[in-house]
Structure 1
Amino acid sequence: MSNQKEALEYVANLAQKEVKEINGRKYATGDLSLVADARAAAFELHTLTGIVNYVQSNVDALKGPVVVHVFGPEKVSVFSPLNNDRKREEFVRAEAIIPEFRFDHFYDSDTFNIKMQALFLESDEKTAILGLVGNIQEENVRNTSSDGTSQTVVARSGITKVENVTVPNPVSLRPYRTFSEIDQPISKFVLRMKDGPSIALFEADGGAWQNIAIQNIEKYLVRELDDLIQEGRVHIIA
């Protein structure tokens, strides 16, 4: 009986809770739990243009400044300043749509050829790689130097002639890896081949391209939002 009485008293106490304001902060009576400020759900976008349009239009009639945070090559968000709970409200989030190319993964020659043409910007080295891949024979791929970096493959050089060709390494390429509005960073890759033949690209810049992409995103946003930045209505963190 005592347990049932205690349970009923606990439920009754919950029903009697009130919200009190103390020093400008709202608390619920009882255990004085903090009532968090209401926060909106973030818009989900996929372009930097969308971020710029949102900030410039002020569609939500925001009174204070906003913070544009460049998380990385694929994500940018717009936040409020710190609220009473020392938290930020996320208004908009843009995540870039990046076509899939699996680095450190061997593709068959036809698939590699298609992906190179579709997912990399034009360059002399891209053209050279496509020329090599399009002419290689299904014969053994072998190493030709003691340092392990160079390889040779058998490639057609004419209608019937075949010859050994050294695979270039490292190669500098510009794959699509960030928002389309900015320049795609150039970086180095190691090109490797195996019997089949199958081909792979291995990233060889230690991730430095990510910092370049972040800097390019920041430059784009500063250029597009310069007036609002000068007025103190926008702050960009990258």
Structure 2
Amino acid sequence: MDLTRDFIEKIEEMAAPETIHVGDLEYSHQHLYPVMPPRPEPLQTKSLSSIVDYLKGNIDQCDPEEILIHVVDEETVTVSSRLFYDLRTREVYMTADAPLPQLRLNDFIPRENFNIMLQSCFTEKGDRDSVLRVIGNISQQQSGGVEVSDDGVTQNVEAKAGTVLKTKATIPNPVNLAPFRTFTEIDQPLSPFVLRINEDMCVALFTADGGAWKQEAMKNIQTYLREALSDEAGNCPYTIIA
């Protein structure tokens, strides 16, 4: 009797998965993983128009009625297959991630940096130009400072010695601005911000809508894709969720 072989076979027998039936369900005391057929990696893109081009070109010969377009959030959209019921999985064909500029919100930054950010990372909608004028009216020399007073809603900035105040600056709040925070193909959502200036001449924008702009951006993405993928009669064969 080969004790070594018998011992190994006993271990293999004990290691084999066991299943238990409870009602109509079957359970296993081990995790079992299906052996999946080889699948290509999802295409990685940076725009919504690339999704439209891919689906209209239909190079992979997919049935539009079996395609799911998922607006995951304001920055990400995926194109995937229907659910494979036997494996309970989907195949992801494409992922689009919006290339976004770096925004410094909810933090005080030097006035010059704030000015550059406002012109390069925000659209012209809303109060952008008004904020630029207010911030541009204040400058500071080496000595002195600014005196800031506010009632919790508006701020008044007055000059001390060494500070040049071209005009009296009253900072209203909130201000409505539209930074680039989603795909450039759609309108950037306009949302309220609290604008603050501290005694060191640093400026900050604090978000003030509880993230409601994200839902608006997702709906705008959904609308863009539905319109771009619809036929002349206005019918879209794809399922788009947001």
TM-score bin (small chain):
0.7 to 0.9
Q: CA deviation at 1:4?
A: 6.7
Residue of structure 1 equivalent to 2:150: 144
Q: Give the one of 224, 235, 240 matched to 1:236.
A: 240
Q: CA deviation at 1:137?
A: 3.3
Q: CA deviation at 1:161?
A: 6.8
Identity %: 36
Alignment length (residue pairs): 215
Is the Cα–Cα contact under 8 Å of residues 138 and 165 in structure 2 kept in the other structure? no
Counterparts of 1:9-158 in structure 2, within 5 Å, are 34-63=34-63, 65-83=66-84, 84-123=86-125, 125-138=127-140, 139-145=145-151, 148-154=152-158
CA distance in structure 2 between the partners assigned to 1:227 and 1:170 by the alignment: 42
Residue of structure 1 equivalent to 2:202: 198
| CA RMSD between the two structures | 2.9
1:142-179 per-position Cα deviation (integer Å, ceiling 9, x unaligned): 2232xx22211137xxxx87553211110001111110
Residue of structure 2 equivalent to 1:179: 183
Identify unmatched segments of 5+ residues in structure 1: 12-30
Is the Cα–Cα contact under 8 Å of residues 174 and 193 in structure 2 kept in the other structure? yes
CA distance in structure 2 between the partners assigned to 1:161 and 1:73 by the alignment: 40
Is the Cα–Cα contact under 8 Å of residues 66 and 78 in structure 1 kept in the other structure? yes
TM-score, with normalisation over the residues of structure 2?
0.78
In the superposition, relative to structure 1, how do residues 33 and 216 fare at CA in structure 2: closer, same or farther (>3 Å)?
closer
Q: CA deviation at 1:61?
A: 2.1
Is the Cα–Cα contact under 8 Å of residues 188 and 204 in structure 1 kept in the other structure? yes
Identify unmatched segments of 5+ residues in structure 2: 13-30
Is the Cα–Cα contact under 8 Å of residues 144 and 150 in structure 1 kept in the other structure? yes
In the superposition, relative to structure 1, how do residues 161 and 61 fare at CA in structure 2: closer, same or farther (>3 Å)?
closer
1:185 partner SS = coil
1:226 maps onto 2:230 in alignment: yes
Is the Cα–Cα contact under 8 Å of residues 141 and 193 in structure 1 kept in the other structure? no
TM-score, with normalisation over the residues of structure 1?
0.80
